[in-house]
Structures are given as structure tokens and as C-alpha cells.
Chain A
């Protein structure tokens, strides 16, 4: 599977590229719909401020913080994400914000959804970790999340963007 041509450019349009992982080929997806995981952190306690709320005032304070996050997700996130994705002529869909999912999560006590002192690779979004475990995705169940802006390192590419 190795290609003999040297990797001259990293431009996506450059065609064939090689490295020690095999052949890379330029590709543009024709997909018109993107699935976003937005809403899981807000509803299931994935942010460090949720743990802070728990330290501040226990389960009631954490539950209050989660409700607040869900209420303001449209202002904080949805419009922004939609504008960036719609500019590419694509639609974004949010499985975690499906009405039935939101209604179900909102009825659960906070202690079922998250374990705020459990650490970033165990306690946050505990409910999802349990689902992953049941599905046989044991390593996913123990993985610490990577926020999109840090996972992509894009925050570091553009230190001057503010």
C-alpha cells in the first residue's frame, strides 16, 4: 500500500501523500448532513464548572447548573454552530438535543447522569460511559473527552485570533 512518490506538500488538493501510515488520497465528502455531539456535556455534566458547582453546593447546585446549561444552549452554541456549518451548504443535526432525549435526561436526577468527583475519565457524563460499557466499548467508557477546539489544535494555530 506504499506509494513511491514523496510527500511534497500537505495541501489537501495535492493528491497522493505518503507517510509511515500508508497512502493518503485527497478527498471531499459529498455528505450534506453533519451530526454533532453538542448537548451531551451540558445535560450530563461534562464540564469542569459542573464539578465546581457540586463542590460549592452539592447535588442541588449541580442540578441547577445543568438546567441553566440546557436553557442557554441555544444562545451560546446552536446559532454559532449552525452559521459556521450552514456557510458550507450543510446541515447540522444534534442527536443529544432530540426532544425525547432531552425530556428523558431532564427527568433523571443529577446523580444518575454524572459523578462530579469521579474525575475526567470516569465521572463526567457517567451515564454515557455506562451505555458505552454495555455496548462493549470499554475503552470509550474510560476515555477523557477532548474538546473540539483543543482536539483539533486549532486554538494553537491562531494565537492572534480573538
Chain B
């Protein structure tokens, strides 16, 4: 499984990066069923998680720490969407 976290706010088209990551995983372990889980984070979800993340991150407190910590926290939540076309 490949987890991909991104924000919905800017309504990006899906970059090739995540498709590519998924195809690499299949290359490395082709007999395994891989799922690309798309985790779209809303600004409101991020705001709701911010107090908890503040606690988890301490003593790390830079902007970079918060950005990385949030991405990892949502990735580890592992709640997102799969496309049926991606399933094998």
C-alpha cells in the first residue's frame, strides 16, 4: 500500500508522482496487491488536529516540523479513498 496525503484546497489534478510511486511498488513486489490510498486533507480537518499535533510535536516546533508532522499524522490515519481501477 502506498499512502499519499495532499490538501484539497487547491484542487490539484493528480500528479504523476503518486501513480509512479504505485507502479514502483508493483515492480518491487508484483505478487502483492497494492493499493494507492489517496488522503485528501481539508483545511478544517487540519485546524481540528492542530492542538493535538502541537502536543505531539513538542519539543519540535518549527514550521517545517508542523508541516511534516501533519503529513505523517494524516498518512498514519490511513483513511482515504482508493480507485477501483487501481485495484488488482
Give chain B interface residues in 6-52, CB to chain A under 8 Å: 6-10, 12, 14, 17, 20, 24, 27, 35, 37-43, 46-47, 50, 52
User: Does any Cβ of B come within 8 Å of A162's Cβ?
Assistant: yes
**Total interface residues in chain B, CB < 8 Å:** 54
Contact A156 B10 (CB under 8 A): yes
Complex CA–CA separation, A85 to B17 (angstroms): 23
* Smallest CB separation, A3 vs chain B (Å): 9
**B7–A12 contact, CB under 8 A?**
no
- B interface, CB within 8 angstroms of A: 1, 3-10, 12, 14, 17, 20, 24, 27, 35, 37-43, 46-47, 50, 52-53, 56-57, 60, 63-85
Residues of A at under 8 Å CB distance from B?
1, 10-13, 17, 21-29, 31, 34, 76, 79-81, 83-85, 87-88, 90, 92, 135-137, 139-140, 143, 146, 148-149, 151-158, 161-162
